[in-house]
Amino acid sequence: MTADDFGASREVNDAVVRAHQEGVLRFASLMVDAPAAEDAATKARGLPGLGVGVHLVLCDSAPASWGLRLVWDRSGRRRMEENLARQIERFFGFGLIPTHLDSHCHAHVHPAVFPVMARLAQRYGIGRIRWPAGELEPSLAYAKTDGAGGYSPLFSLRQATLAGTFASLGLFLKWTARGVSMPRCYGLLRSGMMTEDYVLWLLRRLPEGTTEIYFHPSAEPASQVRGRPTPTHRSITELLTLSSPRVKQVIQEELIELLSPR
Protein backbone atom coordinates (compact mmCIF):
# COMPACT_ATOMS: atom_id res chain seq x y z
CA MET A 1 0.00 0.00 0.00
CA THR A 2 1.57 3.28 -1.18
CA ALA A 3 0.49 6.93 -0.91
CA ASP A 4 1.44 9.25 -3.75
CA ASP A 5 2.07 13.02 -3.66
CA PHE A 6 3.66 13.01 -0.19
CA GLY A 7 4.81 16.60 0.26
CA ALA A 8 2.16 18.17 -1.96
CA SER A 9 0.44 19.79 1.03
CA ARG A 10 0.15 19.59 4.80
CA GLU A 11 -3.20 17.84 4.35
CA VAL A 12 -1.56 15.11 2.27
CA ASN A 13 1.28 14.77 4.76
CA ASP A 14 -1.13 14.47 7.69
CA ALA A 15 -3.09 11.84 5.76
CA VAL A 16 0.06 9.79 5.14
CA VAL A 17 0.93 9.84 8.84
CA ARG A 18 -2.61 8.85 9.86
CA ALA A 19 -2.90 6.11 7.24
CA HIS A 20 0.41 4.64 8.38
CA GLN A 21 -0.19 4.88 12.12
CA GLU A 22 -3.89 3.93 12.11
CA GLY A 23 -4.26 1.97 8.89
CA VAL A 24 -2.52 -0.24 6.35
CA LEU A 25 -0.20 2.22 4.58
CA ARG A 26 3.38 0.99 4.37
CA PHE A 27 4.98 3.22 1.69
CA ALA A 28 4.77 6.80 0.43
CA SER A 29 6.19 8.56 -2.63
CA LEU A 30 7.63 12.00 -1.89
CA MET A 31 7.67 14.96 -4.32
CA VAL A 32 10.92 16.69 -3.39
CA ASP A 33 10.09 20.09 -4.90
CA ALA A 34 6.51 20.28 -3.64
CA PRO A 35 5.42 23.03 -1.21
CA ALA A 36 5.31 20.74 1.86
CA ALA A 37 8.25 18.49 0.93
CA GLU A 38 10.40 19.44 3.92
CA ASP A 39 7.48 18.85 6.28
CA ALA A 40 6.97 15.44 4.63
CA ALA A 41 10.65 14.58 5.09
CA THR A 42 10.52 15.58 8.74
CA LYS A 43 7.48 13.39 9.29
CA ALA A 44 9.08 10.50 7.39
CA ARG A 45 12.21 10.59 9.54
CA GLY A 46 9.95 10.07 12.56
CA LEU A 47 8.25 7.03 11.01
CA PRO A 48 10.88 4.30 10.68
CA GLY A 49 8.25 1.76 9.62
CA LEU A 50 7.23 3.83 6.59
CA GLY A 51 9.16 3.21 3.37
CA VAL A 52 9.56 6.39 1.35
CA GLY A 53 10.42 6.62 -2.33
CA VAL A 54 10.86 9.42 -4.84
CA HIS A 55 7.77 10.64 -6.72
CA LEU A 56 9.60 12.22 -9.65
CA VAL A 57 7.92 15.17 -11.34
CA LEU A 58 8.56 15.72 -15.04
CA CYS A 59 5.24 17.22 -16.11
CA ASP A 60 2.19 18.50 -14.26
CA SER A 61 -0.35 17.15 -16.75
CA ALA A 62 -0.79 15.76 -20.28
CA PRO A 63 2.09 13.24 -20.12
CA ALA A 64 1.37 11.97 -23.64
CA SER A 65 1.86 15.40 -25.21
CA TRP A 66 4.91 16.07 -23.06
CA GLY A 67 6.40 12.73 -24.05
CA LEU A 68 5.79 13.31 -27.75
CA ARG A 69 7.76 16.55 -27.62
CA LEU A 70 10.55 14.78 -25.76
CA VAL A 71 11.04 12.29 -28.60
CA TRP A 72 12.25 15.03 -30.93
CA ASP A 73 14.14 17.11 -28.38
CA ARG A 74 17.60 15.69 -27.71
CA SER A 75 18.63 18.55 -25.43
CA GLY A 76 15.32 18.13 -23.60
CA ARG A 77 16.13 14.47 -22.93
CA ARG A 78 19.51 15.47 -21.51
CA ARG A 79 17.90 18.08 -19.25
CA MET A 80 15.32 15.51 -18.22
CA GLU A 81 18.00 13.09 -17.01
CA GLU A 82 19.75 15.86 -15.10
CA ASN A 83 16.45 16.84 -13.51
CA LEU A 84 15.70 13.26 -12.44
CA ALA A 85 19.14 12.89 -10.86
CA ARG A 86 18.76 16.25 -9.09
CA GLN A 87 15.43 15.18 -7.55
CA ILE A 88 16.87 11.88 -6.34
CA GLU A 89 19.87 13.62 -4.81
CA ARG A 90 17.64 16.15 -3.09
CA PHE A 91 15.72 13.24 -1.59
CA PHE A 92 18.96 11.87 -0.14
CA GLY A 93 19.65 15.39 1.15
CA PHE A 94 16.52 15.12 3.30
CA GLY A 95 18.29 12.34 5.22
CA LEU A 96 16.15 9.58 3.72
CA ILE A 97 17.02 6.40 1.84
CA PRO A 98 14.59 5.78 -1.07
CA THR A 99 12.82 2.44 -1.23
CA HIS A 100 11.45 2.94 -4.75
CA LEU A 101 10.98 5.26 -7.73
CA ASP A 102 7.77 6.30 -9.47
CA SER A 103 6.53 9.51 -11.07
CA HIS A 104 3.74 12.05 -11.23
CA CYS A 105 1.30 11.21 -14.07
CA HIS A 106 3.38 8.05 -14.67
CA ALA A 107 5.67 10.04 -16.97
CA HIS A 108 8.47 7.53 -16.29
CA VAL A 109 6.82 4.87 -18.48
CA HIS A 110 7.63 6.90 -21.59
CA PRO A 111 10.11 4.97 -23.79
CA ALA A 112 12.56 7.89 -23.66
CA VAL A 113 12.36 8.11 -19.85
CA PHE A 114 12.18 4.58 -18.48
CA PRO A 115 15.71 3.47 -19.50
CA VAL A 116 17.02 6.60 -17.76
CA MET A 117 15.00 5.74 -14.65
CA ALA A 118 16.44 2.22 -14.67
CA ARG A 119 20.02 3.53 -14.95
CA LEU A 120 19.46 5.98 -12.11
CA ALA A 121 17.88 3.28 -9.95
CA GLN A 122 21.01 1.19 -10.39
CA ARG A 123 23.32 4.15 -9.82
CA TYR A 124 21.63 5.11 -6.54
CA GLY A 125 20.91 1.59 -5.33
CA ILE A 126 17.11 1.84 -5.56
CA GLY A 127 15.60 -1.60 -6.00
CA ARG A 128 12.04 -0.99 -7.23
CA ILE A 129 10.30 1.00 -9.97
CA ARG A 130 6.52 1.18 -10.30
CA TRP A 131 4.84 -0.26 -13.37
CA PRO A 132 1.02 -0.10 -13.38
CA ALA A 133 -0.22 -3.40 -14.79
CA GLY A 134 -2.67 -6.25 -14.25
CA GLU A 135 -5.65 -4.31 -12.89
CA LEU A 136 -7.90 -4.36 -15.96
CA GLU A 137 -9.85 -7.57 -15.30
CA PRO A 138 -10.85 -6.87 -11.68
CA SER A 139 -11.56 -3.21 -12.45
CA LEU A 140 -13.87 -4.00 -15.35
CA ALA A 141 -15.58 -6.69 -13.28
CA TYR A 142 -16.13 -4.18 -10.47
CA ALA A 143 -17.57 -1.66 -12.93
CA LYS A 144 -20.42 -4.10 -13.64
CA THR A 145 -21.49 -4.11 -9.98
CA ASP A 146 -23.68 -1.57 -8.19
CA GLY A 147 -20.52 0.02 -6.76
CA ALA A 148 -19.32 1.38 -10.11
CA GLY A 149 -19.10 4.91 -8.72
CA GLY A 150 -21.11 6.78 -11.34
CA TYR A 151 -18.71 6.41 -14.27
CA SER A 152 -20.12 6.41 -17.80
CA PRO A 153 -19.87 3.32 -20.07
CA LEU A 154 -16.97 5.05 -21.82
CA PHE A 155 -14.97 4.58 -18.63
CA SER A 156 -14.50 0.90 -19.47
CA LEU A 157 -13.05 1.83 -22.87
CA ARG A 158 -10.70 4.28 -21.19
CA GLN A 159 -9.64 1.60 -18.73
CA ALA A 160 -8.94 -0.87 -21.53
CA THR A 161 -6.95 1.69 -23.51
CA LEU A 162 -4.82 2.64 -20.51
CA ALA A 163 -4.20 -0.97 -19.55
CA GLY A 164 -3.30 -1.94 -23.11
CA THR A 165 -0.89 0.97 -23.47
CA PHE A 166 0.96 0.14 -20.26
CA ALA A 167 1.05 -3.58 -21.07
CA SER A 168 2.53 -2.89 -24.51
CA LEU A 169 5.12 -0.50 -23.13
CA GLY A 170 6.00 -3.03 -20.43
CA LEU A 171 6.75 -5.74 -22.98
CA PHE A 172 9.00 -3.32 -24.84
CA LEU A 173 10.80 -1.70 -21.89
CA LYS A 174 11.11 -4.20 -19.04
CA TRP A 175 14.31 -5.63 -20.49
CA THR A 176 15.96 -2.28 -19.72
CA ALA A 177 15.21 -2.65 -15.98
CA ARG A 178 18.39 -4.72 -15.55
CA GLY A 179 17.48 -6.41 -12.30
CA VAL A 180 15.38 -3.60 -10.80
CA SER A 181 12.11 -5.02 -9.41
CA MET A 182 8.89 -4.02 -11.20
CA PRO A 183 6.01 -5.71 -9.32
CA ARG A 184 2.41 -5.55 -10.47
CA CYS A 185 0.73 -2.29 -9.43
CA TYR A 186 -2.96 -1.37 -9.06
CA GLY A 187 -4.45 2.11 -8.75
CA LEU A 188 -4.18 3.61 -12.23
CA LEU A 189 -7.58 2.55 -13.52
CA ARG A 190 -9.52 4.14 -10.64
CA SER A 191 -7.07 6.85 -9.67
CA GLY A 192 -8.73 9.21 -7.21
CA MET A 193 -11.57 6.73 -6.67
CA MET A 194 -9.91 4.07 -4.52
CA THR A 195 -12.98 3.67 -2.35
CA GLU A 196 -13.34 1.15 0.43
CA ASP A 197 -15.67 -1.04 -1.65
CA TYR A 198 -13.32 -1.11 -4.63
CA VAL A 199 -10.26 -1.93 -2.55
CA LEU A 200 -12.15 -4.68 -0.73
CA TRP A 201 -13.06 -6.06 -4.19
CA LEU A 202 -9.39 -6.01 -5.23
CA LEU A 203 -8.09 -7.57 -2.03
CA ARG A 204 -10.42 -10.55 -2.39
CA ARG A 205 -9.16 -11.13 -5.94
CA LEU A 206 -5.42 -10.52 -5.74
CA PRO A 207 -3.35 -12.99 -7.75
CA GLU A 208 -0.33 -14.75 -6.29
CA GLY A 209 2.82 -12.70 -5.91
CA THR A 210 3.59 -9.11 -4.96
CA THR A 211 1.12 -6.34 -5.79
CA GLU A 212 1.46 -2.64 -5.02
CA ILE A 213 -1.79 -0.69 -4.54
CA TYR A 214 -1.41 3.07 -4.59
CA PHE A 215 -3.59 5.92 -3.33
CA HIS A 216 -3.82 9.71 -3.14
CA PRO A 217 -4.96 10.34 0.45
CA SER A 218 -5.67 13.78 1.90
CA ALA A 219 -6.92 14.93 5.28
CA GLU A 220 -8.86 17.82 3.70
CA PRO A 221 -12.48 17.31 4.89
CA ALA A 222 -14.01 18.87 1.76
CA SER A 223 -12.20 16.46 -0.58
CA GLN A 224 -14.59 13.53 -0.21
CA VAL A 225 -15.43 12.05 -3.63
CA ARG A 226 -18.87 11.12 -4.92
CA GLY A 227 -18.88 9.69 -8.41
CA ARG A 228 -15.86 11.59 -9.78
CA PRO A 229 -12.27 12.10 -8.61
CA THR A 230 -11.17 15.51 -7.37
CA PRO A 231 -9.06 17.51 -9.88
CA THR A 232 -5.85 16.43 -8.11
CA HIS A 233 -7.17 12.91 -7.35
CA ARG A 234 -6.32 13.56 -3.67
CA SER A 235 -9.17 12.91 -1.27
CA ILE A 236 -10.14 12.10 2.27
CA THR A 237 -12.08 9.17 0.78
CA GLU A 238 -8.80 7.39 0.08
CA LEU A 239 -7.52 8.18 3.58
CA LEU A 240 -10.67 6.56 4.97
CA THR A 241 -10.07 3.52 2.76
CA LEU A 242 -6.52 3.13 4.03
CA SER A 243 -7.73 3.46 7.64
CA SER A 244 -10.79 1.23 7.23
CA PRO A 245 -11.28 -1.58 9.79
CA ARG A 246 -12.97 -3.59 7.03
CA VAL A 247 -9.86 -3.34 4.86
CA LYS A 248 -7.72 -4.55 7.78
CA GLN A 249 -10.14 -7.41 8.39
CA VAL A 250 -10.12 -8.61 4.77
CA ILE A 251 -6.32 -8.44 4.66
CA GLN A 252 -6.28 -10.78 7.65
CA GLU A 253 -8.99 -13.07 6.25
CA GLU A 254 -7.28 -13.39 2.87
CA LEU A 255 -3.89 -14.02 4.54
CA ILE A 256 -2.37 -11.05 2.70
CA GLU A 257 1.07 -10.03 3.93
CA LEU A 258 1.71 -6.29 4.01
CA LEU A 259 5.33 -5.84 2.99
CA SER A 260 7.52 -3.72 5.23
CA PRO A 261 10.39 -1.55 4.01
CA ARG A 262 12.66 -3.14 6.63
Task: Answer yes or no: are the C-beta atoms of 225 and 14 closer than 8 Å.
Answer: no
Q: Of residues 25 and 111, which shows the higher confidence score?
A: 25
Determine the average pLDDT of the residues in 183-187: 87
CATH number at residue 60: 3.20.20.370
Q: Could you tell me if residue 262 is inside a domain?
A: no
Cβ proximity of 95 and 45 under 8 Å: yes
260 occurs within a structural domain: no
Confidence tier at 197 by pLDDT (50, 70, 90): very high
Residue 226 lies in a domain: yes
Tell me the pLDDT band of 180, cut-offs 50, 70 and 90. Answer: confident
Q: According to the model, what pLDDT value does residue 148 have?
A: 47
Q: Cα separation of 45 and 26, whole Å?
A: 14
What's the average model confidence in pLDDT over 23-39? Answer: 97
252 or 149, higher pLDDT:
252
Residue type, 215: F
What pLDDT is attached to residue 154?
47
Please state the pTM of the whole predicted model.
0.85
For residue 46, give its domain range: 2-253
| 54 band by pLDDT with thresholds 50, 70 and 90 | very high
DSSP states along 194-236: --HHHHHHHHTTPPSS-EEEEE-B---GGG--SSS--TTS-BH
Question: Using an 8 Å Cβ cutoff, are 235 and 217 in contact?
Answer: yes
- Whether residue 213 lies inside any domain: the answer is yes
**Count of C-beta atoms within a 10 Å radius of residue 219:** 20
Residue 221 binned pLDDT confidence (cut-offs 50, 70, 90):
very high
Write out pLDDT tens, residues 226-250. 878 888 899 999 999 999 999 999 9
206 lies in a domain? yes
pLDDT at 72 over 80: no
What is the rounded radius of gyration, in angstroms, for the C-alpha atoms of the chain? 17
- Based on the structure, what is the number of domains in the chain? 1
Give me the percent of the chain exceeding a pLDDT of 90: 50
- Helix then strand then coil, % of the chain, to nearest 5: 50, 15, 35
Q: What is the pLDDT of residues 73-111, one digit of tens each?
A: 566 667 888 899 999 999 999 999 999 999 887 777 777
pLDDT tens for 126-167 read 999 988 777 777 777 787 665 444 454 445 656 656 555 665
**CA gap 124, 98 in Å, rounded:** 9
259 lies in some domain: no
CA separation for the pair 95, 41 (Å, rounded): 8
SS3 30: strand
Residue 32 lies in a domain: yes
Q: Which of 21, 18, 44 is nearest to 31 (CA)?
A: 44
> Which pLDDT score, from 0 to 100, does residue 86 have?
95
258 is a domain residue: no
